[in-house]
Amino acid sequence: MNIPWALEELTKFIEETTMSSPPRTPGIIELSGRMVTRADDDTITKRAQIVEQILDRVIPDWRAIESRVNVNRWMRHRDAAIRAKTELERQEEVEAKLGENAPKLSAAELHPWVWSGAKSLWQSGHYRSAVEDALKKVNAEAQNKVRRRDISETKLFQESFSENAPLQGKPRLRRMANDGSDTYRSLQRGAMALAEGIYAGIRNPLNHEAPADLSEQVALEYLAALSVLARWVDDAIVEEAT
């Protein structure tokens, strides 16, 4: 994220949504206590289109923040913008004071197959459904790569990363050229094992357990594991039967 740009957009939005009494018009009796925003509603609406995307990144659950929306339709946006601005301005200080300044894993920087599958539901806080959609997306992309729709998920990856020679209609995915080495066999076996673990240990429980949501941290770890598999599939060479 370009933090200086985000801070500038948030600052402008906060200023434009500041409430004040309207200037008096000579000869007109104004209602007592009437308040208006500093900028007109069209201007605020245009900036809100950008500010909402910033808020989704910085405070994903900002739409649930309690606010005085009865005062003005932009109050929830404004309160969230103030919080987001403070978060961006002081995040280094908070990290230094509250714990280790460890590297952070951003869902948006995972493999594009994973994030494109998860993005919409992730940003609305539906982490379990986001993981499920990412699993479906990676499965579909793997099917596309080997041009197979007759099998899916665990069976698809088992056959695709098999060390056996490809057959007609059953291409293989090779993480490196088959030179008969232990390294080649390890790469193939590792990819197959990871896929089996993901679809047996993550996908199947999500399908069969009670529909309780996942925590954000657990969901992010699941997406990270899936991202590794997605990169291996994406980078693999397709070996066709001759």
Element (H, E) at 238: strand 237-239
Does the pLDDT of residue 64 top 90, yes or no? no
pLDDT at site 93? 87
Give the H or E element holding residue 36.
strand 36-37
- How many alpha carbons lie under 13 Å from residue 233 in its C-beta half-sphere? 30
Determine the average pLDDT of the residues in 21-25: 69
Q: pLDDT tens digits, residue range 110-158? A: 999 999 999 999 988 899 999 999 999 999 999 999 999 999 999 999 9
Contact 62, 83 (CB under 8 A): yes
> How do the domains of the chain map onto residue ranges?
3-98, 107-239
Q: What is the mean pLDDT of the chain?
A: 90
Dihedral angle computed from the Cα positions of residues 67, 73, 75 and 81, in that order, rounded to the nearest 10 degrees: 120
Assigned token pair, 66: 């309690």
Does the pLDDT value for residue 55 go beyond 80?
yes
Rounded-to-5 percentages of helix, strand, coil across the chain: 60, 5, 35
Least confident of 99-103, 117-121, 171-175, 181-185: 99-103
Task: Measure the CA–CA gap between 3 and 7, rounded to whole angstroms.
Answer: 6
Scan for tokens 């969901």, then name that residue: 219
Task: Name the helix (H) or strand (E) containing 127.
Answer: helix 127-146
Q: Look at the chain and count its residues.
A: 242
Give the pLDDT score at 210. Answer: 66
